[in-house]
Amino acid sequence: MYQDFALILASQDFQDYFSRFGYIGIYIWYVTIDQIGPIPEEVSLIVIGYFASQGVLNPFLAGLFSIAAFITVDTVYFYLTKSGNKLIKKLRNKSTGTKANAIKQKLKKHTLKTLIVLCFIPRMRLLAPVFVSLMKFPYGKFLLFDVIGLGIFTTVYVSLGIIFHRSLSSLVDQAKTIGTIVFIVAMVIMTVLSIIIVRRMNKKTA
């Protein structure tokens, strides 16, 4: 499934999207399409890094606009949860249960560390602002820790896209089709491995 999503993201149409709309396009992508689409943020960030290595984007600015979008979404979820908005009801339902209670306990004891770990667990990152809002965390404290976690999360995955593209270019300069296929496969592998590693680290700290 991820291969299909990655193929779409690595297509010329997606590159044209970033070329045309630039960094504002990145922001719009994450605050709109990303919220309703099935494409993991990890995959799209790696692709952004891949395009940055091709000169389509500046990796630093691309990372900043990505983080800005993530913070915007998290802030909206934080305050919607606090206000009891019905739109956030499904996410609030996920914030109950044994696993959710364990995460809340970790947030109380190790807030920054737990928020960073949640960033690397697909779709769990969206629950972080819900958890902290229900626990009546001050927004300022959450924002500070959220920026740190998102900064690490974004840097890791954008860097993976940059590093991989540079390594690939030195080996297959003339094989663009093969290079794209290899990129897609390697991207999926790296994403899966990073998820497995973070989950194991999370279990050890349980």
Q: Phi, psi at residue 64, to the nearest 5°?
A: -65, -45
Average pLDDT of 144-153? 93
| Averaged pLDDT, 197-201 | 59
Task: Please check whether residue 78 is in contact with residue 142, taking contact to mean a CB–CB distance below 8 angstroms.
Answer: yes
Lowest mean pLDDT among 44-58, 79-93, 145-159: 79-93
137 — pLDDT class (breaks 50, 70, 90): confident
Alpha-carbon distance of 185 to 78, in angstroms, equals 36
pTM of the model: 0.72
In terms of Cα–Cα distance, which of 60, 36, 38 is closest to 48? 60
Residue 170, classified by CB atoms within 10 Å of its CB into exposed (0-12), middle (13-18) or buried (19+), is: exposed
CB 134 within 8 A of CB 92: yes
Q: Cα separation of 150 and 152, whole Å?
A: 5
Query: Letter for the amino acid at 30?
Result: Y
Output the average pLDDT for the chain: 75
